[in-house]
Structure 1
Amino acid sequence: MSNTRTRGTVLAAAVAAALFAAGCGDDTATTTAEHPASTSAATSTTGVRTDFNDADVTFLQMMYPHHAQAVEMAQLVPDRTQNPQLRALATQVEQAQAPEMAQITTLLTSFGESAPSAGGHGGHDMPGMMTEAQMSALEAARDAEFDRQWLELMIEHHLGAVDMAKTELAGGVNAESRQLATTIVADQEAEIATMRGMLGQ
């Protein structure tokens, strides 16, 4: 099986798990929302929430495929290294980010936006996203070389997520989106510190 097909299968499984955890969103909220410049607790006559702005939508739509790639990277670990610390960290990443993908789907649906796509990220256009070449090299690596590549790539990936989350905190207005951003900053900055320590060992 090709690397591309393998990545697609793994990523599809991760997305399916995230959507299942979310209960596949709220099918009743399908109307496209206007994105007000300021927050409001009101709900429009169509039943779509209005307590969000464009910054919230952009953050969520970008963070979903960003998380999906991190989950894909985490799922490469068990077959490529016996390093117990790295295996535990990969499990931690997957267990944190897959549920957040489900939360993102639910939020976007409640905003009247379509469910996000794991593959619609435009490659490495977002901060920290890995290229196809980087992912292929990571898939081909094993043991200590895999550990090094994975840690270096995931640090960059996390730094990108933190930047995106801080942009949301600077411009977003939705309370749930901002709380998600706050959690991402705290969790991923802590994991960055852990990974830098592992690289220095």
Structure 2
Amino acid sequence: MASRRSLLRRTAALAATVTAAVVLAACGSSDSSSSPSGHTGHDTGATSAAGASDTASAAQGSHNAQDVSFAQGMIPHHRQAVAMADLAASRAKSQQVKDLAAKIEQAQDPEIDTMSGWLKAWDAKVPAAAMSGMESMPGMDHSDSEMPGMMSGDDMDKLKGLSGDAFDKAFLQMMVSHHEGAIAMAKTEQAKGAYGPAMTMAKSIVTSQSSEITGMNKMLGR
């Protein structure tokens, strides 16, 4: 019996030793996997700080002076196109011209709102809307200014005084020039801008207005 009790004690001691070794090994493995470098928490903090820094840099560099210039120039340019299109409903004879005018309004009105929103977000000046009709629209008398394709006040007065076939022809001729100016401005934005949405809008303007120019030239028999 004494020999049996001695054997049991030795077996228990051996089991305890093995268990302790397993526990120590597990602890060592856990420490190693959770903190390979010995300071996992500091690594996470550094990564978060770097990400925040990148985000801040992206926000600060998300637009440049060209983006501001594009929006400030294209807003009055679009407003004039919309003003010209407004005349077509009561003066145009051709349904094609009326449909084109409606299409121009539907496309450019929302873009005016979008660009105004950009300028407000950038703390930049939003061009004032016309106060007393088209004649007071910013850029109206600067067809050779930084906004190419803009009609003069005299041009707009002439267009308002026309109707029927005469209106259709003058409208199409003026709008072709107007679109060509917008395309030139948009291409400058594509080449020199930095703000993604503005560059995307510029690309859309080039594509859509180039297509409209083709259609208008066909209506003019060119």
* Map 1:97-108 → 2, pairs under 5 A: 97-108=108-119
* 1:82 lines up with 2:93 in the alignment: yes
Task: Indicate the percent of aligned positions where both proteins have the same amino acid.
Answer: 38
Q: Give the alignment partner of residue 71 of structure 1, picking from 82, 107, 114.
A: 82
Figure out how many residues of one structure are paired with residues of the other and give that number: 159
* 1:113 lines up with 2:127 in the alignment: no
Unaligned runs of 5+ in 1: 1-39
Deviations 1:81-123 (A, max 9, x none): 2311110000000000000000000111111112222422262
Q: Report 1 or 2 for greater relative contact order, CA contacts < 8 Å, sequence distance ≥ 6.
A: 1
**2: CA distance between counterparts of 1:43 and 1:89?**
43
**8 A contact 1:75–1:90 mirrored in 2:** yes
Task: Calculate the TM-score normalised by the size of structure 1.
Answer: 0.75
Aligned residues: CA RMSD: 1.8
Amino acid at match of 1:160: G
Task: Calculate the TM-score normalised by the size of structure 2.
Answer: 0.68
* 1:191 lines up with 2:209 in the alignment: no
* 1:57 lines up with 2:68 in the alignment: yes
**8 A contact 1:50–1:111 mirrored in 2:** no
Higher alpha-carbon Rg: 2
Shift of residue 42, structure 1, vs aligned partner: 2.7
Deviations 1:112-150 (A, max 9, x none): 112222422262222000011111111101101100000
* 1:181 lines up with 2:181 in the alignment: no
**2: CA distance between counterparts of 1:122 and 1:135?**
9
Q: Secondary structure of the residue that 1:42 maps to in structure 2?
A: helix
Closer, same or farther in 2 for the Cα pair 1:107/1:41, shift >3 Å?
farther
Amino acid at match of 1:90: A
Aligned to 2:185: 164
